[in-house]
Amino acid sequence: MAEIDKIDRKILSILQGDGRIANVELAERIGLSPTSVGERLKRLQRDGFVEGYGARLNPHRLGLGLLVFVEVLLDKTTPDVFERFAKAVQTAPEVLECHMVAGGFDYLVKARVANMTAYRRFLGETLLALPGVRETRTYAVMEEVKRDAPLPVG
Amino acid sequence: MAEIDKIDRKILSILQGDGRIANVELAERIGLSPTSVGERLKRLQRDGFVEGYGARLNPHRLGLGLLVFVEVLLDKTTPDVFERFAKAVQTAPEVLECHMVAGGFDYLVKARVANMTAYRRFLGETLLALPGVRETRTYAVMEEVKRDAPLPVG
DNA sequence: AACTGATCCTTATTTTCTAAGGCAAATCTG
DNA sequence: CAGATTTGCCTTAGAAAATAAGGATCAGTT
Protein backbone atom coordinates (compact mmCIF):
# COMPACT_ATOMS: atom_id res chain seq x y z
CA MET A 1 0.00 0.00 0.00
CA ALA A 2 2.85 2.36 0.69
CA GLU A 3 5.23 0.90 -1.83
CA ILE A 4 6.63 3.37 -4.28
CA ASP A 5 8.97 2.53 -7.11
CA LYS A 6 11.17 4.49 -9.42
CA ILE A 7 8.40 5.10 -11.97
CA ASP A 8 6.12 6.47 -9.26
CA ARG A 9 8.83 8.85 -8.18
CA LYS A 10 9.30 10.04 -11.71
CA ILE A 11 5.58 10.67 -12.02
CA LEU A 12 5.55 12.65 -8.79
CA SER A 13 8.60 14.59 -9.82
CA ILE A 14 7.19 15.61 -13.18
CA LEU A 15 3.80 16.40 -11.70
CA GLN A 16 5.33 18.54 -9.01
CA GLY A 17 6.92 20.68 -11.67
CA ASP A 18 3.95 20.73 -14.04
CA GLY A 19 0.71 19.77 -12.39
CA ARG A 20 -1.32 20.40 -15.49
CA ILE A 21 0.60 18.21 -17.88
CA ALA A 22 -1.68 16.08 -20.04
CA ASN A 23 -1.74 12.46 -19.02
CA VAL A 24 -0.84 11.52 -22.57
CA GLU A 25 2.33 13.58 -22.49
CA LEU A 26 3.20 12.41 -19.02
CA ALA A 27 2.90 8.82 -20.23
CA GLU A 28 5.22 9.58 -23.14
CA ARG A 29 7.83 11.01 -20.83
CA ILE A 30 7.55 8.05 -18.51
CA GLY A 31 7.56 5.46 -21.26
CA LEU A 32 4.28 3.73 -20.45
CA SER A 33 0.78 3.86 -21.84
CA PRO A 34 -1.53 6.65 -20.70
CA THR A 35 -3.80 4.14 -18.99
CA SER A 36 -1.02 2.69 -16.88
CA VAL A 37 0.21 6.08 -15.81
CA GLY A 38 -3.35 7.09 -15.01
CA GLU A 39 -3.77 4.07 -12.79
CA ARG A 40 -0.52 4.75 -10.99
CA LEU A 41 -1.47 8.35 -10.45
CA LYS A 42 -4.84 7.36 -9.09
CA ARG A 43 -3.14 5.08 -6.60
CA LEU A 44 -0.65 7.77 -5.60
CA GLN A 45 -3.56 10.08 -4.90
CA ARG A 46 -5.53 7.47 -3.03
CA ASP A 47 -2.53 6.61 -0.85
CA GLY A 48 -1.94 10.23 0.03
CA PHE A 49 1.27 10.97 -1.82
CA VAL A 50 -0.49 13.61 -3.87
CA GLU A 51 -2.62 15.89 -1.75
CA GLY A 52 -3.87 18.10 -4.53
CA TYR A 53 -2.91 20.47 -7.28
CA GLY A 54 -2.52 24.20 -7.33
CA ALA A 55 -1.61 27.14 -9.49
CA ARG A 56 1.59 28.89 -8.47
CA LEU A 57 0.77 32.57 -8.28
CA ASN A 58 3.25 35.42 -8.33
CA PRO A 59 2.83 37.24 -5.02
CA HIS A 60 4.46 40.44 -6.23
CA ARG A 61 2.11 40.62 -9.19
CA LEU A 62 -0.75 40.43 -6.71
CA GLY A 63 0.51 43.31 -4.66
CA LEU A 64 2.00 41.21 -1.90
CA GLY A 65 5.43 42.70 -2.02
CA LEU A 66 6.58 42.08 1.50
CA LEU A 67 7.47 38.70 2.95
CA VAL A 68 8.09 38.54 6.67
CA PHE A 69 8.98 35.94 9.22
CA VAL A 70 7.88 36.49 12.78
CA GLU A 71 9.15 34.67 15.82
CA VAL A 72 6.46 34.54 18.47
CA LEU A 73 6.89 33.87 22.18
CA LEU A 74 3.86 32.97 24.21
CA ASP A 75 3.15 33.57 27.84
CA LYS A 76 2.78 30.05 29.14
CA THR A 77 0.94 31.13 32.26
CA THR A 78 -2.16 32.05 30.26
CA PRO A 79 -4.45 29.05 29.80
CA ASP A 80 -5.08 27.62 26.33
CA VAL A 81 -2.58 29.98 24.69
CA PHE A 82 -1.36 27.41 22.25
CA GLU A 83 -4.81 26.33 21.11
CA ARG A 84 -6.04 29.87 20.79
CA PHE A 85 -2.99 31.03 18.93
CA ALA A 86 -3.14 28.10 16.54
CA LYS A 87 -6.78 28.75 15.80
CA ALA A 88 -6.33 32.47 15.22
CA VAL A 89 -3.49 31.84 12.85
CA GLN A 90 -5.68 29.63 10.66
CA THR A 91 -8.11 32.41 9.94
CA ALA A 92 -5.55 35.11 9.20
CA PRO A 93 -5.14 35.30 5.41
CA GLU A 94 -1.76 36.99 5.71
CA VAL A 95 -0.29 33.96 7.43
CA LEU A 96 0.98 31.48 4.87
CA GLU A 97 2.72 29.17 7.31
CA CYS A 98 2.95 28.75 11.05
CA HIS A 99 5.10 26.23 12.85
CA MET A 100 5.63 25.37 16.46
CA VAL A 101 9.37 25.07 16.94
CA ALA A 102 11.77 23.78 19.53
CA GLY A 103 14.31 26.36 20.54
CA GLY A 104 14.41 29.95 21.65
CA PHE A 105 10.79 30.79 20.81
CA ASP A 106 7.43 29.11 20.32
CA TYR A 107 6.05 29.79 16.85
CA LEU A 108 7.54 30.82 13.58
CA VAL A 109 5.09 32.63 11.34
CA LYS A 110 5.55 33.29 7.64
CA ALA A 111 3.31 36.01 6.27
CA ARG A 112 2.86 38.02 3.11
CA VAL A 113 1.54 41.55 3.06
CA ALA A 114 1.55 44.50 0.69
CA ASN A 115 4.12 46.64 2.46
CA MET A 116 5.43 47.79 5.81
CA THR A 117 2.30 49.77 6.53
CA ALA A 118 0.20 46.68 6.02
CA TYR A 119 2.60 44.71 8.16
CA ARG A 120 2.34 47.13 11.04
CA ARG A 121 -1.40 46.80 10.90
CA PHE A 122 -1.21 43.02 10.77
CA LEU A 123 1.21 42.93 13.69
CA GLY A 124 -0.85 45.24 15.82
CA GLU A 125 -4.35 44.10 14.96
CA THR A 126 -3.79 40.39 14.53
CA LEU A 127 -0.67 39.09 16.17
CA LEU A 128 -0.31 41.32 19.19
CA ALA A 129 -4.06 41.38 19.71
CA LEU A 130 -3.94 37.72 20.65
CA PRO A 131 -3.92 37.04 24.36
CA GLY A 132 -0.81 35.32 25.60
CA VAL A 133 1.56 36.75 23.03
CA ARG A 134 4.50 37.90 25.09
CA GLU A 135 7.03 38.91 22.50
CA THR A 136 7.54 38.97 18.74
CA ARG A 137 10.62 39.41 16.58
CA THR A 138 10.11 40.40 12.97
CA TYR A 139 12.46 39.61 10.12
CA ALA A 140 11.65 41.29 6.85
CA VAL A 141 12.86 39.48 3.76
CA MET A 142 15.14 41.58 1.58
CA GLU A 143 15.73 38.99 -1.11
CA GLU A 144 14.09 35.67 -1.86
CA VAL A 145 17.07 33.57 -2.77
CA LYS A 146 15.19 30.31 -3.19
CA ARG A 147 11.44 30.13 -3.31
CA ASP A 148 9.23 27.07 -2.95
CA ALA A 149 11.59 24.48 -4.34
CA PRO A 150 10.12 21.08 -5.19
CA LEU A 151 10.47 18.32 -2.64
CA PRO A 152 13.35 15.98 -3.40
CA VAL A 153 11.47 12.97 -4.75
CA GLY A 154 13.93 11.24 -7.04
CA MET B 1 -1.86 44.93 -19.17
CA ALA B 2 -1.78 44.62 -15.41
CA GLU B 3 -5.45 45.20 -14.88
CA ILE B 4 -7.16 42.51 -12.91
CA ASP B 5 -10.84 42.45 -12.12
CA LYS B 6 -13.02 40.52 -9.75
CA ILE B 7 -13.56 37.65 -12.17
CA ASP B 8 -9.83 37.28 -12.67
CA ARG B 9 -9.34 37.09 -8.94
CA LYS B 10 -11.97 34.43 -8.65
CA ILE B 11 -10.28 32.41 -11.36
CA LEU B 12 -6.93 32.70 -9.60
CA SER B 13 -8.46 31.80 -6.27
CA ILE B 14 -10.16 28.67 -7.56
CA LEU B 15 -7.12 27.63 -9.54
CA GLN B 16 -4.86 28.07 -6.55
CA GLY B 17 -6.97 25.59 -4.65
CA ASP B 18 -7.48 23.17 -7.50
CA GLY B 19 -5.00 23.59 -10.30
CA ARG B 20 -6.37 20.66 -12.23
CA ILE B 21 -9.99 21.71 -12.39
CA ALA B 22 -11.46 21.26 -15.86
CA ASN B 23 -11.90 24.50 -17.70
CA VAL B 24 -15.53 23.58 -18.25
CA GLU B 25 -16.20 23.29 -14.55
CA LEU B 26 -14.21 26.40 -13.79
CA ALA B 27 -16.34 28.27 -16.29
CA GLU B 28 -19.50 27.00 -14.62
CA ARG B 29 -18.34 28.18 -11.23
CA ILE B 30 -17.40 31.55 -12.62
CA GLY B 31 -20.54 31.98 -14.65
CA LEU B 32 -18.98 32.49 -18.05
CA SER B 33 -18.44 30.31 -21.10
CA PRO B 34 -15.42 27.97 -21.13
CA THR B 35 -13.89 29.93 -23.98
CA SER B 36 -13.99 33.23 -22.13
CA VAL B 37 -12.49 31.75 -19.02
CA GLY B 38 -9.82 30.11 -21.16
CA GLU B 39 -8.95 33.44 -22.71
CA ARG B 40 -8.75 35.14 -19.33
CA LEU B 41 -6.57 32.41 -17.97
CA LYS B 42 -4.26 32.64 -20.94
CA ARG B 43 -3.89 36.33 -20.32
CA LEU B 44 -3.26 35.81 -16.62
CA GLN B 45 -0.49 33.40 -17.51
CA ARG B 46 0.98 35.65 -20.15
CA ASP B 47 1.03 38.59 -17.75
CA GLY B 48 2.79 36.57 -15.07
CA PHE B 49 0.08 36.20 -12.49
CA VAL B 50 0.19 32.46 -12.88
CA GLU B 51 3.73 31.12 -12.87
CA GLY B 52 2.85 27.47 -13.25
CA TYR B 53 1.04 24.54 -11.76
CA GLY B 54 2.19 21.87 -9.39
CA ALA B 55 1.11 18.80 -7.52
CA ARG B 56 1.08 19.22 -3.75
CA LEU B 57 2.98 16.26 -2.36
CA ASN B 58 2.84 14.99 1.20
CA PRO B 59 6.38 15.28 2.57
CA HIS B 60 5.81 12.81 5.39
CA ARG B 61 4.58 10.20 2.96
CA LEU B 62 7.83 10.66 1.06
CA GLY B 63 9.97 10.06 4.10
CA LEU B 64 10.73 13.70 4.74
CA GLY B 65 9.58 13.75 8.32
CA LEU B 66 11.63 16.60 9.67
CA LEU B 67 11.15 20.25 8.85
CA VAL B 68 13.81 22.65 10.07
CA PHE B 69 14.49 26.34 9.92
CA VAL B 70 18.08 27.48 10.12
CA GLU B 71 19.26 30.97 10.79
CA VAL B 72 22.60 31.56 9.15
CA LEU B 73 25.13 34.25 9.93
CA LEU B 74 27.87 34.94 7.44
CA ASP B 75 31.35 36.22 8.00
CA LYS B 76 31.27 39.47 6.05
CA THR B 77 35.04 39.70 5.87
CA THR B 78 35.23 36.79 3.45
CA PRO B 79 34.81 37.99 -0.16
CA ASP B 80 31.80 36.90 -2.22
CA VAL B 81 30.19 35.12 0.71
CA PHE B 82 26.71 36.16 -0.25
CA GLU B 83 27.00 35.09 -3.87
CA ARG B 84 28.61 31.80 -3.00
CA PHE B 85 26.10 31.03 -0.30
CA ALA B 86 23.19 31.85 -2.56
CA LYS B 87 24.54 29.64 -5.31
CA ALA B 88 25.21 26.68 -3.02
CA VAL B 89 21.74 26.88 -1.61
CA GLN B 90 20.20 26.55 -5.07
CA THR B 91 21.76 23.17 -5.66
CA ALA B 92 20.96 21.67 -2.27
CA PRO B 93 17.78 19.60 -2.67
CA GLU B 94 17.06 19.70 1.06
CA VAL B 95 16.66 23.48 0.95
CA LEU B 96 13.09 24.40 0.06
CA GLU B 97 13.40 28.09 0.71
CA CYS B 98 16.16 30.55 1.50
CA HIS B 99 15.70 34.22 2.23
CA MET B 100 18.04 37.05 3.00
CA VAL B 101 16.58 38.90 5.94
CA ALA B 102 17.07 42.16 7.74
CA GLY B 103 17.62 41.69 11.43
CA GLY B 104 19.79 39.63 13.72
CA PHE B 105 21.10 37.23 11.10
CA ASP B 106 21.66 37.00 7.36
CA TYR B 107 19.77 34.08 5.85
CA LEU B 108 16.81 32.05 6.90
CA VAL B 109 16.81 28.57 5.41
CA LYS B 110 13.86 26.21 5.33
CA ALA B 111 14.80 22.61 4.73
CA ARG B 112 13.20 19.18 4.79
CA VAL B 113 15.07 16.01 5.66
CA ALA B 114 14.22 12.49 6.75
CA ASN B 115 15.22 12.80 10.40
CA MET B 116 17.73 14.26 12.81
CA THR B 117 20.50 12.03 11.54
CA ALA B 118 19.94 13.29 8.03
CA TYR B 119 19.83 16.83 9.34
CA ARG B 120 23.16 16.51 11.09
CA ARG B 121 24.67 15.32 7.87
CA PHE B 122 23.08 18.16 5.93
CA LEU B 123 24.26 20.71 8.47
CA GLY B 124 27.80 19.40 8.54
CA GLU B 125 28.32 18.52 4.90
CA THR B 126 26.35 21.26 3.21
CA LEU B 127 25.74 24.29 5.38
CA LEU B 128 28.82 24.41 7.56
CA ALA B 129 31.00 23.27 4.68
CA LEU B 130 30.36 26.59 2.97
CA PRO B 131 33.10 29.15 3.41
CA GLY B 132 32.02 32.24 5.27
CA VAL B 133 29.37 30.62 7.41
CA ARG B 134 30.07 31.96 10.85
CA GLU B 135 27.17 30.67 12.88
CA THR B 136 23.94 28.75 12.51
CA ARG B 137 20.92 28.35 14.75
CA THR B 138 18.62 25.44 14.09
CA TYR B 139 14.93 25.34 14.92
CA ALA B 140 13.28 21.96 14.49
CA VAL B 141 9.56 22.07 13.80
CA MET B 142 7.49 20.12 16.30
CA GLU B 143 4.12 20.81 14.76
CA GLU B 144 3.08 22.30 11.46
CA VAL B 145 0.18 24.47 12.51
CA LYS B 146 -0.45 26.00 9.11
CA ARG B 147 1.14 24.71 5.96
CA ASP B 148 1.33 26.41 2.58
CA ALA B 149 -1.82 28.44 2.75
CA PRO B 150 -3.05 30.00 -0.49
CA LEU B 151 -2.18 33.60 -1.17
CA PRO B 152 -4.98 36.01 -0.31
CA VAL B 153 -6.28 36.85 -3.76
CA GLY B 154 -9.89 37.84 -3.22
C1' DA C 1 -20.32 58.56 -37.09
C1' DA C 2 -16.95 55.22 -38.03
C1' DC C 3 -13.14 52.73 -35.97
C1' DT C 4 -10.73 49.96 -32.50
C1' DG C 5 -10.14 46.85 -28.94
C1' DA C 6 -11.96 44.14 -25.39
C1' DT C 7 -15.10 40.69 -23.87
C1' DC C 8 -18.17 37.45 -24.61
C1' DC C 9 -20.72 33.99 -27.24
C1' DT C 10 -21.63 29.57 -30.34
C1' DT C 11 -20.02 25.95 -33.12
C1' DA C 12 -16.97 22.39 -34.97
C1' DT C 13 -12.70 19.92 -34.91
C1' DT C 14 -9.07 17.86 -32.47
C1' DT C 15 -7.25 16.05 -28.42
C1' DT C 16 -7.58 13.87 -24.09
C1' DC C 17 -9.67 11.17 -20.54
C1' DT C 18 -11.90 7.10 -18.89
C1' DA C 19 -13.89 2.65 -18.64
C1' DA C 20 -13.88 -2.11 -20.34
C1' DG C 21 -11.69 -6.13 -21.46
C1' DG C 22 -7.73 -9.02 -22.06
C1' DC C 23 -2.84 -10.79 -21.64
C1' DA C 24 1.31 -12.17 -19.20
C1' DA C 25 4.35 -12.30 -15.36
C1' DA C 26 4.85 -12.43 -10.51
C1' DT C 27 3.04 -13.96 -6.12
C1' DC C 28 0.44 -16.49 -3.05
C1' DT C 29 -1.50 -20.93 -1.31
C1' DG C 30 -2.80 -25.55 -0.35
C1' DC D 1 4.84 -27.88 -7.27
C1' DA D 2 0.41 -26.76 -9.61
C1' DG D 3 -3.38 -23.96 -9.66
C1' DA D 4 -5.38 -19.67 -8.38
C1' DT D 5 -4.96 -14.84 -7.54
C1' DT D 6 -3.05 -10.52 -7.97
C1' DT D 7 -0.62 -7.07 -10.29
C1' DG D 8 0.78 -4.33 -13.95
C1' DC D 9 0.49 -3.47 -18.49
C1' DC D 10 -1.71 -3.17 -22.95
C1' DT D 11 -5.39 -1.89 -26.81
C1' DT D 12 -9.73 -0.12 -28.04
C1' DA D 13 -13.89 2.60 -28.11
C1' DG D 14 -17.05 5.93 -26.40
C1' DA D 15 -17.46 10.20 -23.55
C1' DA D 16 -15.65 14.53 -22.21
C1' DA D 17 -12.84 18.48 -22.66
C1' DA D 18 -9.73 21.70 -24.93
C1' DT D 19 -8.95 24.59 -28.72
C1' DA D 20 -9.49 27.36 -32.77
C1' DA D 21 -12.48 30.03 -35.85
C1' DG D 22 -15.87 33.28 -36.60
C1' DG D 23 -19.08 36.60 -35.13
C1' DA D 24 -21.99 39.84 -31.98
C1' DT D 25 -21.97 43.61 -28.65
C1' DC D 26 -20.34 47.48 -26.18
C1' DA D 27 -17.14 51.26 -24.52
C1' DG D 28 -13.94 54.42 -25.58
C1' DT D 29 -11.66 57.15 -29.32
C1' DT D 30 -10.64 59.72 -33.40
Class in CATH terms, A7-46: mainly alpha
Distance from the A140 Cα atom to the nearest Cα atom in chain B, whole angstroms: 6
The answer to whether the Cβ–Cβ distance between A56 and B51 falls below 8 Å is yes
pLDDT score of A104:
86
Chain segment B82-137, per-residue pLDDT in tens: 999 999 999 999 999 999 999 888 999 999 999 999 999 999 999 999 889 999 99
Which of residues 83 to 122 on A have a Cβ less than 7 angstroms from any strand D atom?
none
Q: Report pLDDT for A1.
A: 60
Mean pLDDT of A41-64: 97
pLDDT higher than 80, residue A70: yes
- Mind listing the pLDDT tens digit for each residue in B57-88? 999 999 999 999 999 999 988 889 999 999 99
Classified as helix, coil or strand, B107 is strand
Share of chain A above pLDDT 70, in %: 99
CATH number, domain B6-46: 1.10.10.10
CA of A33 to C1' of D4 (A): 28
pLDDT of residue B1: 60
Domain A66-140 listed as CATH 3.30.70.920: yes
Asked if pLDDT for residue A2 goes beyond 80, the answer is no
Facing residues of B117 across strands? none
**The nucleotide closest to A33 (CA, C1' atoms):** D10
Lowest pLDDT segment from A1-10, A17-26, A85-94, A127-136: A1-10
* Percent of the residues in chain A that have a pLDDT greater than 90, as a whole number: 91
Could you tell me which of A112, A117, A120, A116 has the C-alpha nearest to residue A144?
A: A112
Q: What share of chain A is helix, strand, coil (3-state, %, to 5)?
A: 35, 30, 35
Evaluate if residue B55 carries a pLDDT over 70: yes
**How many angstroms is C1' of C11 away from CA of B25?**
19
pLDDT tens for each residue of B6-24: 999 999 999 999 999 999 9
Contact B10, B17 (CB under 8 A): no
Average pLDDT of the residues in A76-85: 89
Q: First CA to last CA across chain B, in angstroms? A: 19
Evaluate if residue B2 carries a pLDDT over 80: no
A121 touches chain B (CB under 8 A): no
Measured distance CA(A48)–CA(A44) in Å, rounded: 6
Are the beta carbons of B125 and A71 closer than 8 angstroms? no
Query: B45: buried, middle or exposed (CB in 10 Å: 19+, 13-18, 0-12)?
Result: middle
pLDDT band of A125, cuts 50, 70, 90: very high
Please list every residue in chain B whose beta carbon sits closer than 8 Å to the beta carbon of residue A20.
19-20, 53
Domain range annotation of chain B: 6-46, 66-140
With the CA atoms of A99, A104, A110 and A113 taken in that order, what torsion angle do they form, in degrees rounded to the nearest 10?
A: 140
Instruction: Please spell the DSSP secondary structure of A40-99, one letter per residue.
Output: HHHHHHHTTSEEEEEEEE-TTTTT--EEEEEEEEE-TTSTTHHHHHHHHHHH-TTEEEEE
Per-residue model confidence (pLDDT) at position B10:
97
pLDDT bracket for residue A14 (50, 70, 90) = very high
Chain B residues 3-42 with CB within 8 Å of chain A: 12, 15-20
pLDDT of residue A86: 94
CA A82 to chain centre: 20
Residue B9, Cβ density class (10 Å: 0-12 exposed, 13-18 middle, ≥19 buried):
middle
